[in-house]
Chain A
Amino acid sequence: MINKKIRIALTKGRLENKTVDLLDKIGYDVSELRDKGRRLILSIPGENIEVVLAKAADVITYVEHGVCDIGVVGKDTIMEHGGKFFEISDLGFGRCKFALAGKKGSNFYEGYGVKTVATKYPTVTRNYFENKGMDVDIVKIEGSVELAPLVGLADGIVDIVETGTTLKENGLEVWEDVAPISARLIVNTVSMKLKQERIAEIVKQIEENL
């Protein structure tokens, strides 16, 4: 059981660079991660760690099935996809929020008609309004959700807001915050027990270098 290989799944893109910086700061040799070409599985020499690059939702899937032991993924993806794993650490980077937004100056809660909400995150949206005890129609949009209220498809949107620039430029505003978001460290429930020492060591190194 000593020094078993640990496989870490990283969310490709924005979180990836920050995570690689973090691993670098710990003192891991991240040369393969920086110069990865088209490879999807990379190793950290000398540490017996393998790094897998995947789309956010897939990070959860790989960790949940136990083919990866540790994952780095945004809280937004966790909230939308759910799943059974340990969510042990808030990495603090990739900070933004889910917010309910719509046309500047209008009131979402006005009137008795059922409101239509456009979003890329139907589960998050449904949970939010279910907790409020409010019926809404949810329309799933794949691309720029900001368009939906502008062309009259929806009364409001639930989306990830970072700076709010896109909203502002399109005459929209944040009405209320739904939930804060940041990158999380997740661990497979069985790996946590079978590889406890090694995982605790890695998690400690990560937390000390945040």
Chain B
Amino acid sequence: MKRYDLLTPEGTRDLLFDECLAKRNIQERLRKIFTAYGYSEVLTPGLEFFDVFNGKVHYFPQETMYKLVDGKNRLMVLRPDNTMPIARLAATRLRAEALPLKLYYNQSIFMVNPKNSGRDDEFTQSGIEIIGGEKTAADYEALSLAAQALFACDEDFRLEIGESGIFRTVVDDLNLPEEQAELIHSLIESKNYPALNEALSGVKGDAAEACRALPSLFGESEIFDVACKYMYSPELKEKLNYLHGIYEALCSMGYSGKIRVDLGLAHKKNYYTGILFRGYVEGYGQPVLSGGRYDTLLGDFGRNAAAVGFAVNVEAAAKVYLKRLEAPLMKPSDVLVYSERGCEISGLNHCRELIASGLTVFNSLCGTFDEAAAYAKDHGIHRIDVVGINSEVTVKEV
């Protein structure tokens, strides 16, 4: 019989030592930024009712959620997302709270990935949600914090912005049946130029022209000049101008060269309604940060409020951080304490004194001095304090 008791499920892992420290470091850096800007932490349950994620629009395909049933046979899921539970929270327990609400979270999400894909089924996200507030001001703040969060993960980052409204308007204006519109959506998302041209063959007009151009409209400030030609209505022009304004603002905040724009940014099914953004760092094949504006999601839970937010994939950021490290994060203890037989209490008292003086200690728990010395050598501890009868302490540098 297979010993499943010795394994962790595929897509999950034990994090050890430096891996933990790297993850905690990233979380701590992000927490500092979020709390400095007055965000309050919330924790939501790992288990939620299936219905929370299965509203009017199915943002999460049901086959990607871990499901179980509660004592009353109701369907539950391990949360696949942090934004929706926070929208639920903001629309229910926090409904009387004045806006803007600034919340941050730091907790895991779970998803079923295709097997053997090497992706994490459980990973931690650290992020913020701004609910309410004047939209432009909130967008600026969210993006400024996103840039700071990325900088905390890796100084050489790229923050990419887009507008889900531009894309949606253009596809709507094509007046295609839903199935075909969905196809075009996924082709733009995967920048599949040949298939997109084929899908649009025979479709004429400004919207079709814009649609053909969208996926290739990514880069830096020059994109705005090119894109301008394809914005055929005042509504689209306004959206592009808004994005341009944000781009310039971020550059003026000292991030010039790090900000990119992609007008083809489009997730297939999502709750985003306005600006979208993603963060990239060298050495990780997927975005480490993603977010955007979602003005209708809270309405699904019964509170009409606009919101914007983002999440950092902490595991991904920690992996990149570990890769860049030159020295291990784990530091050996300053002192190893070896107590002779019968002197264990004196040994512990000595530990306490050393700690009070600002040192870190490792109480050896060894039966013989030789074992203790061997442990110290293995673990790079350079001082051994031997505690004997009458609390006598002998210090040995090794």
Contact = CB atoms under 8 A, between A and B. Distances in A.
Query: What DSSP secondary structure best describes chain A's contact surface?
Result: mixed
B238 interface: no
A153 interface: no
Contact of B191 (A61, A82, A86): A86
A194 B118 contact: no
A194 B219 CA distance: 10
Q: Which 8 A-B pairs have the closest CB atoms?
A: A66-B285, A90-B194, A86-B191, A87-B192, A65-B285, A190-B280, A87-B190, A88-B191
B121 interface: no
Interface in A35-75: 61, 64-67
Nearest to A69: B285
B286 A66 contact: yes
Given A84-B286, A190-B286, A196 B194 contact: no
A209 interface: no
Contacts of A89: 193-194
Interface of B: 114, 117-118, 158, 160, 190-195, 218-219, 260, 262, 280, 282-287
Contacts of A192: 191, 218
7 contacts: A61-B117, A65-B118, A88-B193, A89-B194, A190-B287, A196-B218, A196-B219
A196 B283 CA distance: 15
A7 B199 CA distance: 31
A132 to B, nearest CB: 13
A193 B262 contact: yes
Nearest to B191: A86
Nearest to A196: B219
A56 to B, nearest CB: 15
Nearest to B260: A193
Contacts of B114: 82
Contacts of A188: 285
Nearest to B283: A66
Given A88-B191, A190-B286, 9 more contacts: A65-B118, A65-B285, A66-B283, A66-B284, A88-B192, A188-B285, A190-B285, A193-B260, A196-B219
Q: Which of A61, A67, A88 has the most CB of B within 10 A?
A: A88
Contacts of A205: none
Nearest to B286: A190
B319 to A, nearest CB: 12
Contact of B160 (A88, A90, A193): A193
A85 to B, nearest CB: 7
A104 to B, nearest CB: 32
A65 B285 CA distance: 5
A85 B260 contact: no
B212 to A, nearest CB: 14
A34 to B, nearest CB: 29
Contact of B280 (A64, A84, A193): A193
Nearest to B288: A190
A193 B285 contact: no
A189 interface: yes
A84 B191 CA distance: 11
B155 to A, nearest CB: 13
A87 B191 contact: yes
A65 B194 CA distance: 24
Interface in A177-198: 187-194, 196
Contacts of B283: 66
Contact of B192 (A82, A86, A193, A194): A86
A179 to B, nearest CB: 11
